[in-house]
Amino acid sequence: MSRSQPVWLTEAVTVTALGDSLQQLWDRLMAGRSGIREVEHFPVDQYASRWAAAVPGLTPSGGRTGRSRLHPLLERLFDSMPAADADTVLFTATTKAGIDSLEPLCRGQAADTTGMVPSDVPRLISRRLGLTAEGVNINAACASSTIAVAKAASLIRTGRASSVLVCCMDVITDFVFSGFSALQALSRQPCRPFDRDRSGLTLGEGAAALQFMSAERAAGRNRKPLAAVVGWGMSNDATHITAPARDGCGLIRAIEKALHLSQLDPGQIGAVSAHGTGTVYNDAMELTAIRHVFGDRSLPVYSVKGAIGHTLGAAGGIEVALAAKALAEGMVPPTVGLLHPEPEAESLVSTRAQNLSGSTLLTTNSGFGGINAAIVLKSGSLP
Amino acid sequence: MSALISGLGWVTAAGMGGGKSLCPFAMTTDRLPPIDRKAVFDQPYKNFGRMDEYSRLGLAAIAFALRDAGLEQSAAQRDIGLVAQTEYGCLWTDIDYYNSALPDRGTMASPNLFAYTLPNCFMGEAAIRFGLTGDSYIVNEPSASGMAALGLAVEEIAAGEAQTMICGRCDLGRPPLLGSSGQVAAGALFFVLENAPVAQRSYYGTLERAAHGQILFEDERISDLTALARRCLQIKR
């Protein structure tokens, strides 16, 4: 194999319940604000929760055309995205794409089904951005965009591509809301990650676009690195399709693979952006895995899902963008929604922003199907 | 950059089996017959009964592929990865789920069906059944060729990120609700790829990633996974 190419994140844009830019998201997150509100775009009084972190002002789905809410979300993302070179390789990441178009179809009504299935999404985005190749969508539950970032980084590291764009997205739909309600996974109140009284997750919606380049190509385009992707790892729990392995075995393996590839010891990781959904079992599993990897060391750990909800397939990408921001600012955001930390989390999570010591950050996600993924980012200010 | 193919397995409207069996192989757009547990596993397997049809399809084809490679049985978990292409994924299950949710405004939605409304869930079932702890993800390609999934699997092996990968496609086809255009073949087809030969294991041949992302099998360009399976079977038989 040829010499490994450095992988730089050169652009990151986000659309979330806390605003249409990464800077807005960062500022509001650091101020401890939450985008979680009562759901207005479909009735929820029959479900276990009425809360979600919807993107404000997004055109409701359905209506006369039965068009998915995915389209206005993507338009918001495109509005703030810089142009991509035509030869850029595209990875999209979504779990359910425009599944809200399915409801009118199932009711026997007409619907615009463009974007209803995930395989439509790369074609839609590639054409919109004028890319030569159509790209592919990565679908791995709530680790979809984390894996897409890993695939992007791998292509650049091995010299197979020099410019890769990851676009991730998911919207809040009646379909997904009813399902998590049926699984009794929704928190009755806005979620409280790593809190001893947590009782479930709160859904969110959002999108992110992450431009990755080889260092050489970035220099040629006069792009500065926001951060470098230095390691990644994925694994499957092989225990259950909806519940995490209680001993954290899969997440531990994913983190260890990412550390191995990055040639870093756990002691060199400055902070952890956890999945932190607020469900009893996910957060407990993560704390077990973090303790296994980092021992009794006290390092900043945070979750953003108490502020922007669980954005499903977009979560990993949004969290990578925020992690790059955290590395640049030398701070990690507070865990919004946290009131009384789980005893195991007391020296890790905080209701306030924490200083980030060092230049590396680990970000992780886990999902249905037993999947776990971890990414190690390094500060962009370092060579 | 290369990977060896040590096994292949399939479930199609024409039949199901593995490469070293004498089952006929054809990928057609005909409707699949129901997949019976006894046709796949000798012993009862309680998870099988609760799975949706898409998961049974994927799990069965992976079982045949691993059996064909001599890798079905293992006392320990193994760092084997899974990557699969699908166009419609679990959309049939989505429709079943939504039809369970529509009456009574979602209060009767089936949690068991919802658990299978992600297209990667059959991979979780395969991971549980066969102790596979590598990565596992679905690739939705605009074309149904499966070549992007194959390329990513070969890439992982070449980059040293995996030693063994199971790669293929799994699709129930286009649901009638969406109209008849754009039909893709219903069926699942999986290959076992390895980074290096193992004594006493037979191989169909070698995949290589050539320039411009093309994939060669035994020096011939491959256009899709079905063509790759046919070529493997020509060599073996």
- Provide the token pair at A40: 């207005």
- From the candidates A41, A71, A142, A191, give the one annotated as an active-site residue: A142
Cβ of A239 within 8 Å of Cβ of B117? The answer is no
Q: What is the mean pLDDT of chain B?
A: 92
Give the amino acid at B44: P
Query: What Rg value do the Cα atoms of chain B yield, rounded?
Result: 17
ipTM of the complex: 0.96
Question: If DSSP codes are grouped into helix, strand and coil, which group holds residue A174?
Answer: helix
pLDDT tens for residues A90-127?
999 999 999 999 988 988 888 888 999 999 999 999 99
Alpha-carbon span A228 to A137, nearest angstrom: 23
Nearest residue to A41 via CA among A243, A241, A236, A176: A176
Question: Given this chain, do its domains A7-220 and A230-379 carry the same CATH topology?
Answer: yes
Chain B residues within an 8 Å CB radius of A260: none
Residue A305's pLDDT band, with cuts at 50, 70 and 90, is very high
Nearest residue to A36 via CA among A378, A362, A336, A281: A336
Chain A residues within an 8 Å CB radius of B80: none
Establish if B114 touches chain A: CB-CB under 8 angstroms: yes
Establish if A182 touches chain B: CB-CB under 8 angstroms: yes
What chain A residue is nearest to B123 in terms of C-alpha separation?
A: A369
Alpha-carbon span A113 to B178, nearest angstrom: 8
pLDDT computed for residue A130 by the predictor:
96
Residue A242 burial class via C-beta count within 10 angstroms: exposed 0-12, middle 13-18, buried 19 and up: buried
Residue B211 burial class via C-beta count within 10 angstroms: exposed 0-12, middle 13-18, buried 19 and up: exposed
Establish if B62 touches chain A: CB-CB under 8 angstroms: no
Chain A residues within an 8 Å CB radius of B98: 102-103, 106, 175
- Provide the token pair at A323: 């992690």
Chain B residues within an 8 Å CB radius of A172: none
Q: Rounded mean pLDDT of B134-162?
A: 93
Fold of B2-236: Peroxisomal Thiolase; Chain A, domain 1 (3.40.47)
Distance between terminal CA atoms of chain B? 26
- Structural element, H or E, at residue A181: helix A174-182
pLDDT computed for residue A239 by the predictor:
94
pLDDT tens for residues A239-271?
999 999 999 999 999 999 999 999 999 999 999
**Number of inter-chain CB pairs under 8 A, A vs B:** 187
Is residue A360 within 8 A of residue A264, CB to CB? The reply is: yes
Nearest to B114 among A113, A174, A179 (CB): A179
Chain B residues within an 8 Å CB radius of A123: 142
Which positions 269-298 of A are in contact with B (Cβ < 8 Å)? Answer: none
Is residue A180 within 8 A of residue A142, CB to CB? The reply is: no
Q: Are strands A163-170 and A203-204 parallel, antiparallel or unpaired?
A: unpaired
Is residue A187 within 8 A of residue A181, CB to CB? The reply is: no
- Structural element, H or E, at residue B138: strand B136-140
Annotation says A167 is catalytic: no
Is residue B205 within 8 A of residue B150, CB to CB? The reply is: no
pLDDT computed for residue A76 by the predictor:
96
Domain locations in chain A as residue ranges: 7-220, 230-379
**Rounded to whole angstroms, what are the CA distances from A115 to A48, A96, A312, B27?**
28, 10, 17, 26
Class of domain A7-220: alpha beta
Alpha-carbon span B40 to B49, nearest angstrom: 12
- For residues B135-151, one letter each, b for 16 or more C-beta atoms within 10 angstroms of the residue's C-beta and e for the rest, the string is bbbbbbbbbbbbbbbbb
Domain locations in chain B as residue ranges: 2-236
Q: Are strands B187-194 and B80-85 parallel, antiparallel or unpaired?
A: unpaired
Cβ of A236 within 8 Å of Cβ of B136? The answer is yes
- Reply yes or no on whether the pLDDT at B180 is more than 80: no
Q: Are strands B80-85 and A89-93 parallel, antiparallel or unpaired?
A: unpaired
- Structural element, H or E, at residue B151: helix B147-158
Alpha-carbon span A238 to B132, nearest angstrom: 6
Establish if A47 touches chain B: CB-CB under 8 angstroms: yes
Annotation says A240 is catalytic: no
All residues at 6 or more sequence positions from B211 whose CB lies less than 8 Å from its CB, including other chains = none
- Provide the token pair at A243: 């519940």
CATH code for the structural domain at A230-379: 3.40.47.10
- Reply yes or no on whether the pLDDT at A64 is more than 80: no
Residue B152's pLDDT band, with cuts at 50, 70 and 90, is very high
Residue B237's pLDDT band, with cuts at 50, 70 and 90, is low
Is residue B171 within 8 A of residue B184, CB to CB? The reply is: yes
pLDDT tens for residues B50-97?
999 999 999 999 999 999 999 999 989 999 999 999 999 999 999 999
pLDDT computed for residue A383 by the predictor:
46
pLDDT computed for residue B22 by the predictor:
78
- Reply yes or no on whether the pLDDT at A2 is more than 60: no
Q: Are strands B80-85 and B164-171 parallel, antiparallel or unpaired?
A: parallel
Q: Rounded mean pLDDT of A157-174?
A: 96
- Provide the token pair at B158: 């070449």
Alpha-carbon span A140 to A56, nearest angstrom: 27
Annotation says A275 is catalytic: yes
Which positions 308-367 of A are in contact with B (Cβ < 8 Å)? Answer: 367
pLDDT tens for residues A338-374?
999 999 999 999 999 999 989 999 999 999 999 999 9
